[in-house]
Amino acid sequence: MRALALLCLLLGLAGPLLLLPAGTAVASAFGLAPALAAMQAAAAPLAYVSAAGLLLISLAALAFAGRALALKNKVPAETGTWDCGYAAPTARMQYGASSFAQPLTDFFQPILRKIGHSPVITEYFPGKASFSAEAQAVFYNSVYLPAAARLRTVAYRFSWIQHGRLQIYILYIVVTLLLLLLWKL
């Protein structure tokens, strides 16, 4: 798998070197001289793209090697997720997808109609507490589902056309072709 990935990377970086021989072969095989001229014109900008790609890959490799060298003799520390002041957090208290999406869901509050249930904590050391939030899919519920239901109703009225017999399907095609031929006369 690594060999295939390396081969794809090399083919991508060697685009300008491969474009002209491939273009010459195609142009001579099919007699397409204008296509060869277009490929020759595209080779110069493609060289800049390949050089930029090679530079980016080199910088990424250099950064990775520098990081590996800097962390060579260090043991990574393991800590828990920020615990919001609780001494013994559980997995249910950690961040979820809604924590990361909260700024966007707050911004689109009129569209999403976010509903949240959170307790009011007034004590310094509260007991059990829970929080739940749900963003209603307004577009899905008010536009998509009704349109899909109407489309399903219309499609159900035409379900007699699709019955599974190949001969009838071929007859549909022949009748359609005849109607098109008569229409063009």
pLDDT over 70 at 8, yes or no = yes
Range name among 32-46, 93-107, 160-174 with the lowest pLDDT average: 93-107
DSSP string over 91-142: GGGS--HHHHHHHHHHHTHHHH-EEEE-----SSS------EEEE--HHIII
Q: Which two tokens stand for residue 84?
A: 């919001």
pTM of the model: 0.41
Handedness of CA 157, 158, 160, 164 (dihedral sign): negative
Smallest CA-to-CA distance from 134 within 115, 118, 117 is with: 115
Instruction: Reply yes or no on whether the pLDDT at 147 is more than 90.
Output: yes
| CA-CA-CA-CA dihedral for 35, 36, 38, 42, to nearest 10 | 130
> What is the model's pLDDT at position 80?
64
DSSP assigned state of 158 = T
Q: What is the pLDDT of residues 43-102, one digit of tens each?
A: 888 889 999 999 999 999 999 999 999 988 888 777 666 656 666 666 666 667 777 788
